[in-house]
């Protein structure tokens, strides 16, 4: 083969190799940038916000000091726009870059005994409440007749999709004539602050996307953090959801004696 032709072929091979190396470099760079920005979005999206939770089976309150033993509880839907949420947690700080610890408090809690107890020689329903909403939820919906110590703690969030939490719950206990409304003080037999309990979880999971049916609330934005805590105590919870069409407020999962039907809108998937 002529020398000139050999030189031409050599130049073509070098050019081809350069293009190949360049293409591979671009692919690697694009992949690296994609991972970087994906990770940055995953971390930066978790801002201060609210967790809407529904209590599962097994919840109870210890009223042994009042001679009632451990009283089983069920969650009550707080208001229609937050679905069947009976517990609202407020994360008051943005998640630090790369994960870290943020402060949290109980914004609202609404629970009721699964059956009446005998208190002060009367049949009574036991309500357990916290209204730390600053008036966003009126006391005509979620009463709290006694002043309470703060229900607060921390959540340690990791970017691998896990978190730990620990906080103290200081709730109000209201004894109401069985079958009567908790929103009328005329129905009260008695009320007092409950003993504080500590709830904690380790390596629970969270997601930056909402689970199916999760309530979309402008008043209680999530901040891009949707937890599934596994509490190591007496208050098991799952993410709240909007009620199926036609669900009555007397259904146990959403039972109240004064709340309208659930009418929340789910987060778009």
Question: Quick check: is 137 in a domain?
Answer: yes
Pair 12, 108 in one domain: no
* Helix, strand, or coil (residue 109): strand
Question: Quick check: is 269 in a domain?
Answer: no
The pLDDT averaged over each successive group of 10 residues in the chain (269 residues) is 43 46 41 38 71 94 96 96 97 95 98 98 98 97 98 97 97 98 98 96 96 95 96 87 54 39 74
Q: What is the tally of structural domains in the chain?
A: 2
Pair 21, 98 in one domain: no
Question: Quick check: is 114 in a domain?
Answer: yes
Pair 153, 38 in one domain: no
Pair 9, 110 in one domain: no
Pair 37, 153 in one domain: no
Pair 40, 24 in one domain: yes
Question: Quick check: is 259 in a domain?
Answer: no
Pair 132, 160 in one domain: yes
Pair 120, 197 in one domain: yes
**Domain that includes residue 227, residue range:** 47-254
Question: Quick check: is 267 in a domain?
Answer: no
Question: Quick check: is 260 in a domain?
Answer: no
Question: Quick check: is 265 in a domain?
Answer: no
DSSP state of 215: B
Pair 1, 79 in one domain: no
Pair 36, 51 in one domain: no
DSSP state of 260: P
- Which pLDDT value is given to residue 231? 83
- Which pLDDT value is given to residue 81? 93
* Helix, strand, or coil (residue 253): helix
Residues 6 or more apart whose Cβ sits within 8 Å of residue 182: 112, 125, 127, 129, 143, 174, 176, 257, 258
- Which pLDDT value is given to residue 123? 98
Pair 5, 113 in one domain: no
Residue 61, beta-bridge partner list: 71
Pair 37, 53 in one domain: no
- Which pLDDT value is given to residue 36? 38
- Which pLDDT value is given to residue 262? 61
Q: Which residue has the tokens 């357990």?
A: 128
Question: Quick check: is 54 in a domain?
Answer: yes
């Amino acid at each position: 083969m002529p020398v000139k032709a050999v030189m031409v072929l050599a130049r073509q091979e070098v050019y081809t190799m350069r293009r190949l190396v360049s293409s591979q470099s671009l692919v690697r760079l694009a992949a690296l940038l994609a991972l970087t920005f994906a990770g940055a979005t995953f971390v930066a999206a978790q801002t201060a916000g609210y967790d809407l939770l529904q209590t599962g089976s097994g919840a109870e309150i210890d009223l042994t000091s009042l001679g009632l033993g451990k009283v089983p509880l069920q969650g009550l839907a707080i208001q229609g726009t937050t679905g069947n949420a009976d517990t609202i947690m407020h994360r008051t700080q943005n998640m630090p870059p790369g994960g870290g610890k943020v402060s949290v408090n109980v914004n609202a809690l609404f629970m009721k005994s699964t059956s009446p107890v005998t208190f002060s020689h009367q049949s009574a329903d036991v309500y357990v409440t916290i209204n730390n909403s600053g008036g966003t939820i009126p006391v005509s919906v979620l009463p709290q007749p006694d002043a309470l110590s703060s229900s607060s703690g921390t959540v340690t969030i990791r970017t691998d999709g896990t978190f730990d939490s620990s906080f103290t719950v200081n709730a109000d206990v209201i004894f109401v004539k069985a079958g009567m409304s908790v929103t009328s003080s005329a129905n009260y037999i008695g009320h007092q602050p409950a003993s504080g309990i500590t709830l904690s979880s380790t390596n629970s999971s969270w997601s930056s996307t909402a689970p199916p049916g999760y309530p979309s609330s402008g008043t209680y934005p999530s901040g891009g953090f949707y937890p599934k805590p596994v509490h190591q105590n007496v208050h098991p919870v799952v993410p709240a959801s909007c009620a199926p069409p036609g669900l009555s407020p007397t259904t146990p999962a959403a039972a109240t004696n004064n709340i309208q039907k659930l009418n929340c809108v789910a987060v778009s998937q």
